[in-house]
Structure 1
């Protein structure tokens, strides 16, 4: 599932290609929107909200989409061949005189009145990359259910919006606790640093084409790994099953839960395991 930084980059590409331009072609390929015609309307802006995308259009309309596990928006120059997947996976096409945006495998695609956007995104907690970010509120949300496993609480977009499975695993490693530790067992200073570091990591990666957590970003003091080793590894634990931990050398472990892999170091991270 895309993380908040990926969704932000997608929104910026869409905004650059569509905002301020009149739609000359619009095709929404989901049954409930099949008869909707947006051609002739100007796209006003494309705004990310957590992992949601809000494409605002003239006449008070918002096209709301969510990428979930494998959805994607691709932007092409006018006349360029579309290469994002087979035609039957296309759910939306928005084109103007210079660019075409094509939405593939979008599990959520709906047209709302702009005034009703809160119905789609009002449940979200503070956005780690948004203007509404509030660390204190995010911390209170995260700790609201003391018995809840930390990894599960981090992924709940109602607590704080933008963390996906990669950052969940990386943040737990940096905090030296397993994703199954009940959030109520986190010492207060560690919980606060966890929220702060989540914000810093997403900010550090918001403009990077390739995500990394092992670079010069605050990491609870930071694992002491050799510079050569760290330069070769973009992530501490995610996707590194059976490879040596960059902190202690212990093989990284993996657990599959509801289709999502969780990675952790059994030596460095304290707490319950899968």
Structure 2
């Protein structure tokens, strides 16, 4: 499933294809593409922001002085996708989209040589400057752990503000820290021997920072890897606890358990032997 490292890898794959290129065609099934006159725009940059991917496009027509906010062609536009559970970006040859197999494309951006294709995203929107500022999901994102300039102290402060929220649910709050998903949540808390069901308030600021530093390290290790995500780099098996409910812990032998937590009842895998006194 896409987490922060996945989106940064997608952005790295799209940049050589899109950055600086003129979009010769754009087809979209989920948003009002014609309102934004995407064809003919130059792609300024592709940005990964937590679990979100933004393709920033320059104004179609430059103007002297201030752009008219009523004229979409005079404004920059960002194409925002959030892949959710089933979305995917891929790069294909410019003529390979129509005859390809698999899910029907939701968005196709064509340059002279390539097509960037997005299928089954959870979110697909075109946003002008005001839309970017007004989008709560984007404007309220916490620091992105894979951003070289990420302010971990700010992320720690946002986590501490959650108080009695359970740790496993808190580190999934993208408004506190961006990029951690269900896999990293379970794996990180196991590696740090933290109880997922204890309140954030039970940890000191230094302990939370150490947790985020470990998360960033794990995500960086997967950025340049081919193949599935790993948090275990020796022996058989890629992961320590995730999706291993009912199987013995690789460290202590107790059976891994799974409980759902948080507002979305996301699954949390943990070892009751290694991770403090997790309630049953």
**What TM-score, normalized to structure 1?**
0.86
- Contact map agreement 1:85 1:104 (CA 8 A) in 2: no
Q: Structure 1 pair 35/135, CA: closer, same or farther in 2 (3 Å)? A: closer
Q: 1:137 Cα deviation (Å)?
A: 1.0
- Contact map agreement 1:25 1:39 (CA 8 A) in 2: yes
- Contact map agreement 2:21 2:42 (CA 8 A) in 1: yes
Q: Which runs of 5+ in 2 are unaligned?
A: 60-75
- Choose the corresponding residue for 2:184, options 167, 170, 180: 167
Name the CA distance, whole Å, in 2 between partners of 1:84 and 1:181: 46
Number of the residue aligned with 1:111: 126
Number of the residue aligned with 1:4: 4
- Contact map agreement 2:77 2:127 (CA 8 A) in 1: yes
Number of the residue aligned with 2:273: 267
Number of the residue aligned with 2:77: 61
- Contact map agreement 2:142 2:177 (CA 8 A) in 1: yes
Name the CA distance, whole Å, in 2 between partners of 1:271 and 1:141: 25
- Choose the corresponding residue for 2:230, options 198, 203, 212: 212
Number of the residue aligned with 1:142: 159
Q: Structure 1 pair 40/187, CA: closer, same or farther in 2 (3 Å)? A: closer
- Choose the corresponding residue for 1:99, options 108, 114, 117: 114
The residue correspondences of 1:215-230 to structure 2 (distance < 5 A) are 215=233, 230=234
Q: 1:84 Cα deviation (Å)?
A: 6.6
Number of the residue aligned with 2:215: 198
Name the CA distance, whole Å, in 1 between partners of 2:255 and 2:162: 32
Number of the residue aligned with 2:257: 253
Q: 1:177 Cα deviation (Å)?
A: 2.2
Q: 1:269 Cα deviation (Å)?
A: 0.9
Number of the residue aligned with 2:68: none
Q: 1:20 Cα deviation (Å)?
A: 1.6
Name the CA distance, whole Å, in 2 between partners of 1:115 and 1:58: 15
Name the CA distance, whole Å, in 2 between partners of 1:176 and 1:240: 17
The residue correspondences of 1:30-69 to structure 2 (distance < 5 A) are 30-33=30-33, 36-59=36-59, 60-69=76-85
- Contact map agreement 2:103 2:120 (CA 8 A) in 1: no
- Contact map agreement 1:28 1:34 (CA 8 A) in 2: no
Name the CA distance, whole Å, in 2 between partners of 1:239 and 1:117: 36
Number of the residue aligned with 2:95: 79
Q: CA RMSD in A?
A: 2.0
- Contact map agreement 1:20 1:45 (CA 8 A) in 2: yes
**What TM-score, normalized to structure 2?**
0.85
Q: 1:99 Cα deviation (Å)?
A: 0.9
* SS in structure 1 at match of 2:171: helix
